[in-house]
Structure 1
């Protein structure tokens, strides 16, 4: 079973990126995309890069089309409302439209922000997304420009959201950590604030995205010690072609300390041009023998892959592993 944790329906049109924070973040993000996609597709000039209107059908095709072996995906709201000119409601609806294209294959992950939206509105967002749109998880961003950052362990801002989620039967919290986008403060991207939140809410599971790089050691430490903290492989695994040694080091540290049961694969589609190409690169990836010998990293086994690329997320969502519904099976799929 291949379950892609991270897909989006970004609106990156120029008219949606008019805020002061977006004007700083856009060139930075574009440079990163140029690096990640090296060798996979031609990147248009910066002036043309973000001219494609957001279309759920296009994203669906990038995930499941062209012989894709991906069986399920989670469509995630991006609550970086300080970057976007559009309303949060437009953001929510577009992601939900992707879910509606294949409700048996795409899980909706809602999102909100207790500072940019206010706590009361954030609580209403969560209730509407879970009760009306079927959200199985909520995505959060703690780091914002202009002094709007907040902490996951804030008892007055964050904890009411967790309590409301539990009341509604939704127990999976996801948070963007590390991977700075522009002017947001690095300190707010550090995963340290997940620690107390995870201790105070043992009924919730927390997924720390992007391995919180450049704070990857701290994220790995949290996931190793706390039973309800997990790490997402999104964004850093996308460097697997251009930085295989760095990727192997991150994988090795993660597997040595956390084990494969704490890691979850995601593609970041559509920012990544081909989810299937990334799946093939990352599923078959192996840590070299010299790194395993020199750093005591484990060899990646088929059982490890089974967990990281699907079954960990199925378990967190309390879903049964159903017969594969994806496209034609290649050797990657036969291994799975």
Structure 2
């Protein structure tokens, strides 16, 4: 829970978190090393100095670290854990639904774990979607369209095999499709994260929610022109939000464009933990004011009411989170750190 300087309680749903293992022991090849080092470069470039981690901890942190950073030292009430496999780079996967769910079952009121699949796996992908729903009752998935799979260096949301997977998701009630459409990470190809295929999938699957993580950066204009016309397309602020510290004017431009085109009900907070921790992000976001010239030119503002929607209410709506019921459950279960 985030408490504003005025004493108001703000329910926070962190829509983009991870529990990864990027340690050398899990790296399959040079690309596993490159990938986590690129993450660490984002961390060191955009974090306040007092928030920097040692590289060894960043590569593999504990479940207790995560719980403490999000819920005890941090303001999160609920965190959505996004699974990312990258089996071509990591022996046991980078951030799998199995590992995430094992961690999350220690704190079931706090975590929502999303699955992942690769349509290029054909029938095995469909079988795995069934498995994740039956085993973990997932409500969402995270798509990584630039992920390598053998000789393939990426796929598109409107590929025929992808559509078979989304048809199954719709049938099983897996309604929230989070898609990485943003900055590339070495060695992945930037163009494989292009946002244009969202337009096709969102049109053809109206009953699914398409949460575009990183709001399409560096293709913000393309994303906004899609989001304004597709009622089921949302923007996730992970990666965009940390610029509030290092380049506040740039962040003001990004958030004002999102407010102008998509509107305040279609923007979701995400820390992208453990690249960044949520406390400083939420504190800076709550204190942030749009420059007057940007407010006047765009005709938008970032009011406390809008900030509250972005920080939690919007994601709670997509995931059917009963906020009052959650508050009551938290009151019955004080914070605890379990032994590793």
TM-score range, shorter chain: 0.7 to 0.9
Q: Where does residue 93 of structure 1 map in the other structure?
A: 98
After superposition, give the CA deviation of every residue in 1:34-66 in whole Å (9 maximum; x if it has no partner). 11223233444xxx4457544222211111013
Q: Where does residue 60 of structure 1 map in the other structure?
A: 67
SS at match of 2:153: coil
TM superposition score normalised by structure 1: 0.88
* Whole-Å separation in 1 of the counterparts to 2:16 and 2:31: 23
**Does structure 1 residue 255 correspond to structure 2 residue 259?**
yes
Q: Where does residue 332 of structure 1 map in the other structure?
A: none
* Whole-Å separation in 1 of the counterparts to 2:248 and 2:217: 16
Q: In the alignment, is the contact (CA less than 8 A) between 1:14 and 1:51 conserved in 2?
A: no
Could you list the runs of 4 or more consecutive aligned residues of structure 1 that deviate by over 6 angstroms after TM superposition? Answer: none
* Whole-Å separation in 1 of the counterparts to 2:78 and 2:56: 28
Distance change (3 Å), C-alpha of 1:50 and 1:181 = farther
How many residues of Structure 1 are paired with residues of Structure 2 in the alignment? 317
* Whole-Å separation in 1 of the counterparts to 2:58 and 2:308: 37
**Does structure 1 residue 233 correspond to structure 2 residue 243?**
no
- Of the three residues 31, 39, 47, the one matched with 1:29 is 39
- Of the three residues 196, 200, 203, the one matched with 1:196 is 200
Q: In the alignment, is the contact (CA less than 8 A) between 2:24 and 2:33 conserved in 1?
A: no
Distance change (3 Å), C-alpha of 1:32 and 1:57 = same
- Of the three residues 112, 135, 139, the one matched with 1:136 is 139
SS at match of 2:246: coil
* Whole-Å separation in 2 of the counterparts to 1:244 and 1:51: 25
After superposition, give the CA deviation of every residue in 1:68-111 in whole Å (9 maximum; x if it has no partner). 332111111113333322147x8222211232122122111111
1:1-336 correspondence to structure 2 within 5 Å: 1-44=11-54, 48-49=55-56, 53-66=60-73, 68-87=74-93, 91-115=96-120, 118-145=121-148, 146-155=151-160, 157-272=161-276, 274-293=277-296, 295-322=297-324, 324=327
Q: In the alignment, is the contact (CA less than 8 A) between 2:40 and 2:58 conserved in 1?
A: no
Q: In the alignment, is the contact (CA less than 8 A) between 2:43 and 2:52 conserved in 1?
A: no
Q: Where does residue 333 of structure 1 map in the other structure?
A: none
Distance change (3 Å), C-alpha of 1:42 and 1:168 = closer
Segments of structure 2 that go 5 or more residues without pairing to the other structure are 1-10, 332-340
SS at match of 1:130: helix
Distance change (3 Å), C-alpha of 1:52 and 1:175 = closer
RMSD of aligned alpha carbons: 2.1
Q: In the alignment, is the contact (CA less than 8 A) between 1:56 and 1:94 conserved in 2?
A: no
Q: In the alignment, is the contact (CA less than 8 A) between 2:286 and 2:304 conserved in 1?
A: no
Q: In the alignment, is the contact (CA less than 8 A) between 1:210 and 1:234 conserved in 2?
A: yes
Measured after TM superposition, the shift of residue 196 of structure 1 is 0.8
